[in-house]
């Protein structure tokens, strides 16, 4: 650990975070808008009304702009695993690489093949084949998300693997345990459904702008109907999977859960701080602790949220760091000792194998296997274990802002749907302006979800097995700093370009003549 340049680690983390957050600005719209377009084209094929074709082609143009820029950022993100995180790639490449390979071979191939037909096949293939191509692009986009999220979920909850002490690598032993772990399935549905909500609000917000400008009434109202219904259905899935995510977090990542709730001392009948403002503890003995300046609590709710039992005990940050014998919680100090033993046993095993001492090798291997689940803690055996506590304020605030904005989105979707059905939406300018200005809010919420997921699990790259300090490539810090700013400029330029192209296309509006009737 002494030879690790912590500044290099921080810059590598910053570069990956930058790339991931920019990439995620483009992905959710692709996931949701692809299905909305498919629904619209289905209406066109079923009714034969050319206005539905016109509507479909308009939203398809915006989809194409977003899709192209999303690919550019995604490719760079995957390359960073090899360039900046080579130790991580070596340690788990056999497992982590499998879902990414499937994503490239199956899902991305599917969407990239049929996207050409979707954009350029109008009047060149039959209506039904074109519709099939549109649906396959939507399915392919979401299958890509599935395999990428499977890989991410495995980092949060490693399963279906075995460590090979001879190669010092983790190897997959059960693909289905990796692909369909409870964390992977829940993460997939929660993430993609949040993307569906984002796309729905994007469509509604753009449609609201047309109504405010007294333009494209048919397109706007029909688009709002489809987007609102789709968004409301997706929001129910977001709520269900979000609730499930909290329980899985409490079970598999209790430190993340405690940080998200600013819970330092574990307790039974734990209340949930629905609203709270934090302030750093001024005591020198515990400078990292975040005290509440103000909070509004819901009694017993945190215990229920974590374990479906209002009387359940929820461990806090102190319980995990210092241990709690009453609740069978090993302290981080004890875990670090076990992790150190695992690391040293692995070294002894390799040396014994080289020298031909079979008995010593077997003994060392036995000790290694007994302590392997604490392997990652061994890197902190001679460090301050408080470094294993994630930053509390970002996770605490991100979660609450995300939840409150999520409630706003559901209410907005419901209101605009009712008003559109009653044909009153165009007269409710306050609602239209609210819908328009909710577009940036839903993007912010989408990013906050990843802050909770990723900042909350730090410093782990793989939960309990590999910390960031051991996963980073041995690069010159200057090269990472340089590429950080290069990527920042490139991604910012791409984002500005997308916004300009999108707004220009929206102002231009759909091509073709408007029909009087849409069924």
* Two tokens, residue 194: 């949040």
Whole-model pTM?
0.91
Lowest average pLDDT, out of 16-30, 94-108, 189-203, goes to: 94-108
Lowest average pLDDT, out of 151-160, 285-294, 382-391, goes to: 285-294
Nearest Cα residue to 320 out of 250, 273, 382, 272: 250
Cα–Cα distance, 153 to 156 (Å, whole number):
5
Mean pLDDT, residues 145-155: 88
Q: What pLDDT, on the 0 to 100 scale, is given for residue 281?
A: 77
Instruction: Say if CB 147 and CB 107 are below 8 A apart.
Output: yes
Q: What angle do the packed helices 50-83 and 6-47 form, to 10 degrees? A: 160
The pLDDT tens digits for 52-75 are: 999 999 999 999 988 888 877 878
Cα–Cα distance, 269 to 51 (Å, whole number):
57
- Mean per-residue pLDDT of the chain: 89
DSSP category for residue 125? S
Q: What pLDDT, on the 0 to 100 scale, is given for residue 473?
A: 86
Q: What pLDDT, on the 0 to 100 scale, is given for residue 250?
A: 93
Instruction: Say if CB 451 and CB 390 are below 8 A apart.
Output: no
Q: What pLDDT, on the 0 to 100 scale, is given for residue 194?
A: 95
Q: Above pLDDT 90, what percent of the chain?
A: 61
Mean pLDDT, residues 473-479: 86
Say how far residue 272 (Cα) sits from the centre of its chain: 24
Phi, psi angles (nearest 5°) of residue 427: -95, -5
pLDDT at 245 over 60: yes
pLDDT at 513 over 60: no
pLDDT at 222 over 60: yes
Instruction: Say if CB 417 and CB 232 are below 8 A apart.
Output: yes
Q: What pLDDT, on the 0 to 100 scale, is given for residue 76?
A: 82
The pLDDT tens digits for 25-34 are: 999 999 999 9
Cα–Cα distance, 343 to 376 (Å, whole number):
9
* Range ranked top by mean pLDDT from 275-284, 396-405, 470-479: 396-405
Per the listing, tokens 């330092």 go with 264
Q: What pLDDT, on the 0 to 100 scale, is given for residue 110?
A: 79
Q: What pLDDT, on the 0 to 100 scale, is given for residue 91?
A: 84
pLDDT at 282 over 80: no
Non-local (6+) Cβ contacts of 467 within 8 A are 376, 379, 380, 459, 460, 461
- Whether residue 459 is preceded by a cis peptide bond, meaning omega within 30 degrees of 0, is yes
Which of the two residues, 405 and 6, has the higher pLDDT score?
Answer: 405
Nearest Cα residue to 158 out of 207, 219, 74, 95: 95
Cα–Cα distance, 181 to 190 (Å, whole number):
14
Lowest average pLDDT, out of 166-180, 314-328, 375-389, 505-519, goes to: 505-519
Q: What pLDDT, on the 0 to 100 scale, is given for residue 4?
A: 67
pLDDT at 3 over 70: no
Lowest average pLDDT, out of 10-19, 81-90, 389-398, 417-426, goes to: 81-90
The pLDDT tens digits for 421-444 are: 999 999 999 999 999 999 999 999
pLDDT at 155 over 80: yes
The pLDDT tens digits for 346-395 are: 989 988 988 888 889 889 989 999 999 999 999 998 888 888 999 999 99
pLDDT at 320 over 60: yes
Nearest Cα residue to 23 out of 57, 56, 70, 86: 70
Q: What pLDDT, on the 0 to 100 scale, is given for residue 92?
A: 82
What residue spans define the domains of the chain?
6-253+391-508, 267-314, 332-386
Q: What pLDDT, on the 0 to 100 scale, is given for residue 100?
A: 77
Cα–Cα distance, 292 to 281 (Å, whole number):
9
């Amino acid at each position: 650990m002494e030879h690790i340049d912590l500044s290099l680690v921080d810059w590598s983390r910053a570069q990956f975070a930058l790339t991931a957050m920019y990439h995620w600005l483009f992905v959710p719209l692709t996931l949701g808008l692809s299905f909305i377009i498919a629904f619209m084209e289905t209406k066109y094929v079923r009714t034969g009304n050319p206005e539905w074709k016109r509507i479909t082609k308009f939203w398809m143009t915006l989809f194409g702009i977003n899709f192209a820029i999303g690919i550019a950022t995604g490719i760079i993100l995957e390359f960073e695993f090899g360039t900046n995180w080579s130790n991580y790639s070596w340690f788990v490449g056999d497992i982590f690489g499998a879902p990414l390979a499937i994503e490239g071979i199956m899902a991305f191939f599917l969407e990239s093949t049929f996207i050409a037909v979707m954009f350029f096949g109008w009047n060149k293939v039959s209506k039904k084949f074109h519709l099939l191509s549109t649906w396959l692009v939507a399915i392919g986009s979401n299958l890509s998300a599935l395999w990428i999220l499977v890989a991410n979920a495995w980092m949060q909850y490693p399963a279906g693997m075995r460590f090979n002490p001879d190669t010092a690598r983790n190897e997959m032993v059960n693909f289905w345990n990796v692909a369909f772990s409870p964390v992977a399935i829940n993460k997939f549905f929660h993430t993609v459904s949040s993307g569906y909500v984002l796309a729905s609000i994007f469509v509604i917000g753009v449609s609201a702008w047309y109504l405010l400008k007294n333009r494209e009434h048919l397109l706007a109202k029909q688009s709002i109907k489809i987007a609102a219904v789709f968004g409301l259905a997706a929001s129910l899935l977001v709520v269900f999977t979000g609730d499930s995510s909290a329980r899985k977090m409490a079970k598999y990542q209790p430190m993340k859960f405690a940080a998200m709730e600013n819970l330092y001392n574990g307790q039974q009948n734990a209340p949930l701080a629905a609203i709270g403002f934090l302030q750093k503890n001024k005591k020198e003995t515990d400078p990292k602790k975040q005290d509440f300046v103000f909070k509004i609590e819901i009694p017993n709710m945190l215990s229920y949220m974590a374990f479906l039992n209002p009387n359940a005990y929820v461990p806090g940050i102190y319980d995990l760091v210092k241990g709690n014998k009453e609740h069978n919680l090993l302290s981080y100090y004890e875990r670090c000792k076990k992790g150190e033993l695992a690391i040293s046993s692995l070294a002894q095993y390799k040396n014994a194998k080289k020298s031909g001492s079979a008995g010593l090798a077997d003994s060392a291997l036995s000790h290694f296997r007994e302590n392997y689940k604490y392997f990652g803690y061994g890197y902190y055996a001679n460090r301050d274990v408080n470094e294993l506590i994630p930053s509390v304020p970002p996770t605490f605030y991100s979660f609450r802002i995300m939840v409150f904005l999520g409630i706003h989105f559901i209410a907005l979707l419901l209101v605009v749907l009712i008003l559109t059905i009653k044909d009153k939406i165009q007269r409710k300018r306050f609602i239209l302006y609210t819908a328009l200005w909710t577009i940036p809010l839903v993007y912010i919420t989408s990013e906050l979800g990843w802050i909770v997921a990723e900042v909350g699990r730090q410093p782990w790259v793989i939960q309990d097995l590999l910390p960031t300090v051991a996963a980073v490539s041995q690069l010159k810090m200057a090269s990472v700093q340089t590429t950080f700013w290069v990527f920042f400029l490139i991604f910012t330029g791409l984002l500005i370009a997308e916004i300009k192209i999108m707004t220009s296309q929206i102002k231009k509006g759909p091509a073709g003549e408007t029909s009087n009737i849409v069924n």
